[in-house]
Amino acid sequence: MSIEAGGLQVPVSVIIPAAGSGRRMGGGTAKQFLPLRGEPVLVRTVRLFIRCPLVDEIVIAAGDVEATRALVGDMPKVARIVKGGAERQDSVWAALQAVHSRPRIVAVHDAARPLLTPDVLEGVLRAAATCPAQVVAVPVQDTIKQVGPDGVVVATPDRATLWAVQTPQVFWADVLVRAFHRAMADGFVGTDDASLVERIGVPVRVYRGRPTNLKLTTPGDFRVAEALLEGDA
Ligand code: C5P
């Protein structure tokens, strides 16, 4: 399907950066290929978007394109699998160039977040009809300190203003392309996609998600994710 915006039906593409090496997991296998309750993480993540009726196509940036094609290449909606880059931002850019027609809504979602729930996904995509840039996020529970290189606290930002940002991050494609061009011209590398969009002055909204949308990074995260899925079963 697609999203109705300003009387137009705008197609929705999902970009999945899946080219990380998973160094923090230890072991030789990248985390997106590791099984989570018997199924590879990437298969679970791709399935979230196959099941969402608003999503038209999925473009994956992979480290090992052949292994990724063997795993998910035959799944519905998987339109292209491209070679990722050294940084997450390079991988997203490679996939963004493989997203064809405009206008289009582009959702970027980490391969390593297989616990996104359908209600949050559908909600953030529908909100994109009227908002050019938005990120799924949750208010922080902990007090956050800014700490200097000497280990001494520099500042304590007001917690009421702080959100922990996740994916999906959803953009009108032209805005995201413009943001990437500017970042590349400036040599800017961000830790998420929205930070590139903020730099071109487009307001980015938060869309409230759930703390369970974990990014699987360490073996401990896998154990938590398995327990959360157990609760679903
Ligand atoms: O490394 P990090 O946990 O931030 O990675 C988030 C997502 O970005 C993961 O799904 C990972 O596979 C992907 N990634 C990528 N290309 C890189 C580094 C990370 O596609 N060079």
Residue type, 122: E
Task: Quote the crossing angle between the two packed helices 65-72 and 41-50, to the nearest 10°.
Answer: 60
Q: What is the pLDDT, as a whole number, of residue 100?
A: 76
User: Given ligand 1 and candidates 48, 64, 110, 222, which is best to mutate, with the most ligand atoms within 8 Å of its CB?
Assistant: 110
Q: What is the pLDDT, as a whole number, of residue 112?
A: 97
* Gap from CA of 9 to ligand 1 centroid (Å): 31
Q: What is the pLDDT, as a whole number, of residue 101?
A: 67
Q: What is the pLDDT, as a whole number, of residue 233?
A: 54
Q: What is the pLDDT, as a whole number, of residue 5?
A: 75
Whose Cα sits closest to atom 1 in ligand 1? 20
Whose Cα sits closest to atom 5 in ligand 1? 20
* Gap from CA of 214 to ligand 1 centroid (Å): 14
Instruction: Measure the CA–CA gap between 109 and 44, rounded to whole angstroms.
Output: 12
Q: Tell me if residue 43 falls in helix, strand or coil.
A: helix
* Gap from CA of 20 to ligand 1 centroid (Å): 4
Q: What is the pLDDT, as a whole number, of residue 26?
A: 67
Question: CATH second-level architecture of 2-232?
Answer: Alpha-Beta Complex (3.90)
Instruction: Measure the CA–CA gap between 107 and 78, rounded to whole angstroms.
Output: 14
Q: What is the pLDDT, as a whole number, of residue 142?
A: 97
Instruction: Measure the CA–CA gap between 117 and 207, rounded to whole angstroms.
Output: 13
pLDDT tens digits for range 113-149: 999 999 999 999 999 989 999 999 999 999 999 999 9
Q: What is the pLDDT, as a whole number, of residue 30?
A: 86
* Gap from CA of 131 to ligand 1 centroid (Å): 26
Pocket of ligand 1 (CB under 6 A): 17-20, 32, 61, 84-88, 91, 110-112, 215, 217
Q: What is the pLDDT, as a whole number, of residue 103?
A: 74
Spatial contact of 121 and 169, defined as CB atoms under 8 Å apart: no
Which regions in the chain score pLDDT beneath 70? 1, 6-7, 22-27, 101, 233
* Gap from CA of 69 to ligand 1 centroid (Å): 17
Instruction: Measure the CA–CA gap between 153 and 147, rounded to whole angstroms.
Output: 4
| Percent of the chain topping pLDDT 70 | 95
Peptide bond into 35 cis (omega under 30): no
For the chain, domain boundaries: 2-232
Q: 0.85 cut: is pTM over it?
A: yes
Strands 8-18 and 146-147: unpaired
